[in-house]
Structure 1
Amino acid sequence: MNSYMEKLTQVLQAEDESGLELLRLMQLQLFSEDDTNIMTSNIPKTEKDENGFHAIGTWHPAKQDEEIVFKRIVQSDSVFWESTCGQFKLRKKEVDKRVCFIGESVAAGMFFTPAITPAKVLSNYLKVNSNHLWEVMDLTKNCMNAGALIETCKNSLQLKPDYIVIVAGNNWFSDLMVEHNGAFSRRKKYADSIDKNGLLGVIETYRKNTKKLAKNIMKQINNMAADNRKTKFIFAIPPLNYFDWERRVPLHWLNNDKTLEWYQNYRLAIESYNTRNFESALKFGKRMYEIDEGYNSTSSRIIANCYTALGKNEDAYKYFESECDNSLIFDEFTSFPGVSTFIRREYNENNSSCPNIEFIDLEKILIEYSGITVLGKKVFVDYCHLNPEGFHIVMAPIASLIINSVNDNKKDWTYLIENTSSLETDPSALAVSYFCAALYNSHLNRPVTYEFDIKKYCDLFQKAVDYDKTVLDIMELYVKARSCAKGAGFTLSKSGQKLFELMNSPLDFPVAQEAPGVDALTIEAICRTLEDNGYKGNNLRKEYQTPYIKALDRGIDLTEPAYIEWINSHIRMAMDSENGTRRILPFYRSWWPSSFFSLVADGEQDLKVELTCRLPIGNSRKNNTVQVFINNHEVGTMTVNTMWTKQSFVISSEVIRKGFNRLSIEWPIIQQNEKQKLLELKQRYYKGLNVDFFPILGEVHSFIVQKYGINQ
């Protein structure tokens, strides 16, 4: 047996990877499709207790005073569930109507829970506008996926609700992502399609799988409704923020030898857009869209932005939808949940495949009520999460449907909005909510162009201040906590600990914490807001910047994750201790024609820069020019090829700002052998090795910056 194992090991470890390839091919042949589960659950599995009941999320059944109650217990995902309800009873006592409210973060009221939530708004509508006594049970969970939704719905039927209201659809497809190094069971879904039609085939398979999954989910919910006639099921499709949230995604390798042409048009589109030549940018964006056949988010976003800038929102809408549909396919960058247009189109009030479910499209409701085709910050705080004004609007049609089913006196949803007072909410809690939302936007909302409007982010933080000026103390604590050991001591610092006490919900602190690195945009926006409101924001900014400036004495490497701008464009967002380390990013690779880094300097001394970079293997030209800029001023050029090349140059203090600076590298867009790249991609994918779905336009081994004259 040992001899056989030794021989097998030798085969699998062959340097040409032939053994590994053989193993993978055998797996592909033998692995049955029945063994793959298209729907997973991200909540812990539970068994029936001794009384015959299942847990409902984080609430577990127990007998208390001869009565069954569901008590909240601490488990691995407790922090994600609605945070205020300690327990609820199985039997209705003081109410005659019960609603189970189930859904993901948009239903939970992310950022605003527990101060105000959609469930509380719905409860208020029912209380004010109906003669019945209502109990709305908030069973929402942030990050709830498709399997968890089905399981929660099934278990909530134990409570014999009169209504189950579901607000979901944003989180269903994360398990279907095309992973560059995923488990074999997931790769199986795409292995055949990548062989037959490259990455376009993979995308088609992804879309087919999303439709299959959506139909499976809806079928299960419809069957539950059919089997439980005393409970009425209402499914509300969440809306999306198209106007104020951008999903910039690199282009995957194409089959038509035009991948690099797409990037050339991208550069031209951005140049035109930045000079407000929207007609020209639209032309280049449409060429990109032709090349990628409508499969890329960035080309769709450029077209949509141009149309909105030209006042053509109706024309922009379908491209906004396309942007959202295409933003979740590949896993190599931080993605943002969203409902696919398939769900919105397939499941509506005219749906015949699910006759036991009442459907409401909340996006349609918001558009109809506001008169605005492209929804934005008036009702949203990020890509899909609503603000309290949004809660007030979208809960009205749900309340109207419920009220009209039990009352003879029918009430239209617009009547409810206009004749039901909004819930009063503690201004200080709202201020904290909007502060956390501003952090989320400044860390994750990546513009499709390379420029960003600092005023836009200052306005987000100022909105928090407008609710309650005491949030300025929280902003000050945030910057101080981020100053501790250049951010590494955020959670351990006194400021960080005090900040934790002032957050609204358990999830607020992780949102605040998710910001590895210099984070120039966020810190600048907060410090300006502090200064504008009578605080010493400029002094605080200076204290924050001092450790970074001192580090220039011994030299820094801008390819460290701490200095990479929009780090979550390169590393998937995760609460992972490795996110800010060199180990997570051995060297820097750019999917884009421009790369950006944050440098903090005093502006009093010249800086020496030593750049070691190369172009990806496969470029046909030997000599190509890379340009280096600081704050849009060119400071150096170097000739590069596919071998690592090092060059030093000096940045004059005349072009260096005191404080935050932006260093950028402009890469040449050189034609690569796309057929060879696709062949390599297929081979590596079959073998289970890491693959690059997107072209690499340039790589940086090191980008050293040091004060000139020190140790020279």
Structure 2
Amino acid sequence: MSVTESIRKEAAEQLAAYISRRENSIPDILEKMEAFRIQHATETPSLSPVVQQIGIWKEEHGTGAYVRDKKQMGEWIKWASQHRISLTTDNKRILLTGESVARGSFYGNEYAPAAVIEHVLSSVAGGEFEVTDLAKSGMEPDEMRSVLKSAAVLQPAMVVIMAGNNFFYKLYGGFLNTRLASDLPVDEISCKWLKEKVDNALSLIVKDFLQYLQELFVQRGVPVLFVIPAFNLADWKVTAHETSTPVLSAGDTALWEQLWNAAREAHKQQDYAGVQKWCDQLLQMDDTQPSIYELMGEAAMAAGHWDEARKYLEAARDYTLLFRSVGKPRILSIVYHTLLSEAKKYGIHTLDLASLLARNTDISIPGRNFFMDYCHMNMAGIQLSMAAVTAAIAEQLQIPVDDPEVFYQHAAAVVPSPEATCMAHIYAAIHNAHYGQEYPIVRFHIEQAFKAVPTLTASFCRSYVDMASRRLASPLTRSFSDLFNNLDAGIDKYPEAVFHPVNGKLLDLILTDAMNDVLEEAGEITSGELSALRLSEHAVEQHQEVDLLESFYSRSTYDYFPEQSEYYISRNVRSEFNFFSRATDTLILKIVYRSKHALGGNIKLVLNGRPLYDQLPAAAHWISDALHIPANDLQPGLNKLEIQWPGTIYQPPLEAVLTMRDVLDVLSPVRGELHYLTLAVSK
């Protein structure tokens, strides 16, 4: 046996013994494997040189540089467009990494935070500094650790990290599949219990990441600044999938609906004392519903009670992460407070963007004045934040500055082109609409785009409205080609905007309405064009049969529950479907449904806000039925069909929960399922 084989055998035996000890977790085992690899690296011959990688940049041997790896070209769009990173530089290198906030999402590579930082540093300290941008859209903690470990070879003078929004995504893997330490009776499960588990897991993730930064950089004398992102409390709304009717008895479910309707009506009438009264009663029934806190926060804002509003809106933001849907990036309170309280212990400096933005807005709660969506900032937000980041860098690296105001003055001098601003707002409108936001904020972004470049906005929106309204898959439409060939639109920077998922195309009603209304008011299109197009493409009378379970009619957003099903499922007491009709003929609705967890009761159908059928029996087995809809119950154009599932259910047939996924089924049970739902002209 050779020396190398002997070493490998010894290492394998040690590793096997280590794995066999049950107290060692998977991360412990992986760490031990890495330790074995490093320990024997010099003793194991290599047939080819080890290729180093920093993100998408691959070491180019003999040049002293890293270049973008062509094998990862599909990932290039998520990173900075810099093709080459030099291993060494005559300047002091600032290393920037982080999530999409650090990339300057929506602006593409033309206007990135790294560029603003570099400009400000160059302005106050000459050409002594350069910023290497290693931020990536969608980056999660594990990938960030890998990038930072590889990037240490670049010998940065300082490291800046903008992260925290994506930390909770780490929970969607192992955490949800975790087997509980002991079987837990169903009646001991609650949203409060789950929230505590989530917070504990996230706190450990943050502390572990901070410790890693300390060992990798701080202990080597490299200062680290952790920039904690902010959240759009004022404008980002809780989506339909992020809240649900709690599991209650029949009487309590009816009371819940009554109180919730009363609270919303009080808010509509600007009766904020009434909102508080009804919401207090709702919270006594279930204090984990984000929509209740949001309503209270909006009422407090309207009354000018800013501290109270912030408290409620932060609670709404935090309680969305109970796995009712695959959440959007956000800085949760547990991540925020853990970073602020723990970073100093590891020698890491912090910059709190939420406090910074609050100090610079009239109402102390940032909204569309600084944000494009839930967490990604607009030009004003980027300028203000990067001025503060650069000031913190200057302080740590002892760069002399006479007047602190120069940081913002230089940051404000960096602006995107009108075309980049225009398309950033259009892409923000699309993103807001695709993730459950309402007409006013979607229209706001279209209006901002039109102010920036009217002609570009008009041409893009005209093509997008046509493409989205067609039954054809988007890439097969002529309008898609028009969008793709519009170089000013820069589709390559945000392809998700037009590449609807396979079998997942949306009608984008809110978005196309906003686009259409802005163009119509500007005289760019004539009235009635969109309505006529929708009828010609989607009216039931135009087709042999319309399947309401198609994404066109059954979905309005890309929000979804993290656990999918082979059937259409509803975890809320209401399911909504859109369809178009000329209202000239009686239609026949064919339905195959079940409500396997219902405790009696009936399923009700509501059409355009009016009762249609209320005697469909709820049952655990599949039921098939055919129902007629008279022409006089229809309205020309858009119609809304609502299925109301029984409010009373029993818990899923589990004596005890075994994994976190079981917990989700207990807290957000399936109210109803559909196997078939079609409309056709009755013959």
Instruction: Give the TM-score taking structure 2 as reference length.
Output: 0.83
Q: Spell out the pairing of 1:3-152 with structure 2 (5 A cutoff).
A: 32=22, 34-37=24-27, 54-65=52-63, 67-75=64-72, 78-93=75-90, 96-152=91-147
Measured against aligned partners, the alpha-carbon deviations of 1:111-160 in whole angstroms (never above 9, x if no partner) come to: 11212111111112112222343211111111100111112122211111
Distance 1:474 1:497 in 2: 11
Query: Is contact 2:598-2:646 (8 Å) kept?
Result: no
Amino acid corresponding to residue 288 of structure 1 in structure 2: L
Structure 2 partner of 1:519: 508
Q: Give the secondary-structure state (helix, strand or coil) at the position aligned to 2:668.
A: coil
Structure 2 partner of 1:222: 214
Compare 679-688 and 638-647 and name the one that shifted more. Answer: 679-688
Q: Give the secondary-structure state (helix, strand or coil) at the position aligned to 2:392.
A: helix
Q: Spell out the pairing of 1:605-620 with structure 2 (5 A cutoff).
A: 605-611=585-591, 613-619=593-599
Match of 1:461 among 438, 446, 453: 446
Distance 2:179 2:594 in 1: 35
Q: Give the secondary-structure state (helix, strand or coil) at the position aligned to 1:201.
A: helix
Q: Give the secondary-structure state (helix, strand or coil) at the position aligned to 1:359.
A: strand
Identity of aligned residues (%): 19
Structure 2 partner of 1:377: 368
Match of 1:318 among 311, 315, 318: 311
Q: Give the secondary-structure state (helix, strand or coil) at the position aligned to 2:202.
A: helix
Query: Is contact 2:590-2:624 (8 Å) kept?
Result: no
1:418, distance to aligned residue in structure 2 (A): 4.2
Closer, same or farther: CA 403–344 of 1 in aligned 2, 3 Å:
same
Closer, same or farther: CA 508–403 of 1 in aligned 2, 3 Å:
same
Query: Is contact 1:111-1:436 (8 Å) kept?
Result: yes
Distance 1:171 1:549 in 2: 41
Amino acid corresponding to residue 55 of structure 2 in structure 1: G
Distance 2:358 2:146 in 1: 32
Structure 2 partner of 1:546: 536
Structure 2 partner of 1:202: 194
Structure 2, gaps ≥5 residues long: 1-19, 32-36
Q: Give the secondary-structure state (helix, strand or coil) at the position aligned to 2:431.
A: helix
1:607, distance to aligned residue in structure 2 (A): 3.8
Structure 2 partner of 1:496: 480
Structure 1 partner of 2:417: 426
Distance 1:38 1:300 in 2: 40
Query: Is contact 1:115-1:504 (8 Å) kept?
Result: no
Closer, same or farther: CA 400–350 of 1 in aligned 2, 3 Å:
farther
Query: Is contact 1:264-1:669 (8 Å) kept?
Result: no
Measured against aligned partners, the alpha-carbon deviations of 1:565-621 in whole angstroms (never above 9, x if no partner) come to: 435344669xxxxxxxxxx764433333332211122344454444555544341x4
Q: Spell out the pairing of 1:393-412 with structure 2 (5 A cutoff).
A: 393-406=384-397, 409-410=400-401
Structure 2 partner of 1:650: 629
Structure 2 partner of 1:664: 642
1:235, distance to aligned residue in structure 2 (A): 0.7
Q: Give the secondary-structure state (helix, strand or coil) at the position aligned to 2:53.
A: coil
Closer, same or farther: CA 405–54 of 1 in aligned 2, 3 Å:
same
Match of 2:226 among 235, 240, 245: 235
Q: Give the secondary-structure state (helix, strand or coil) at the position aligned to 1:166.
A: strand
Measured against aligned partners, the alpha-carbon deviations of 1:441-461 in whole angstroms (never above 9, x if no partner) come to: 112134xxxxx5x34432321
Measured against aligned partners, the alpha-carbon deviations of 1:497-524 in whole angstroms (never above 9, x if no partner) come to: 3423444364511133346233222222
Query: Is contact 1:69-1:87 (8 Å) kept?
Result: yes
Closer, same or farther: CA 377–610 of 1 in aligned 2, 3 Å:
same
Instruction: Give the TM-score taking structure 1 as reference length.
Output: 0.80
Structure 1, gaps ≥5 residues long: 1-29, 447-451, 574-583
Structure 2 partner of 1:286: 280
Query: Is contact 1:296-1:326 (8 Å) kept?
Result: yes
The reply on whether 1:439 has 2:430 as its aligned counterpart is yes
1:208, distance to aligned residue in structure 2 (A): 0.8
Structure 1 partner of 2:169: 174
Aligned length: 638
Amino acid corresponding to residue 467 of structure 1 in structure 2: A
Query: Is contact 1:59-1:73 (8 Å) kept?
Result: no
Q: Give the secondary-structure state (helix, strand or coil) at the position aligned to 1:370.
A: coil
1:425, distance to aligned residue in structure 2 (A): 2.0
Q: Give the secondary-structure state (helix, strand or coil) at the position aligned to 1:287.
A: helix
1:481, distance to aligned residue in structure 2 (A): 2.8
Structure 1 partner of 2:460: 474
Distance 2:281 2:680 in 1: 42
Distance 2:195 2:99 in 1: 26
Closer, same or farther: CA 404–56 of 1 in aligned 2, 3 Å:
same
The reply on whether 1:600 has 2:597 as its aligned counterpart is no
Closer, same or farther: CA 71–615 of 1 in aligned 2, 3 Å:
closer
Distance 2:541 2:417 in 1: 43
Structure 2 partner of 1:560: 550
Closer, same or farther: CA 655–543 of 1 in aligned 2, 3 Å:
closer
Distance 1:461 1:39 in 2: 51
Closer, same or farther: CA 616–375 of 1 in aligned 2, 3 Å:
farther
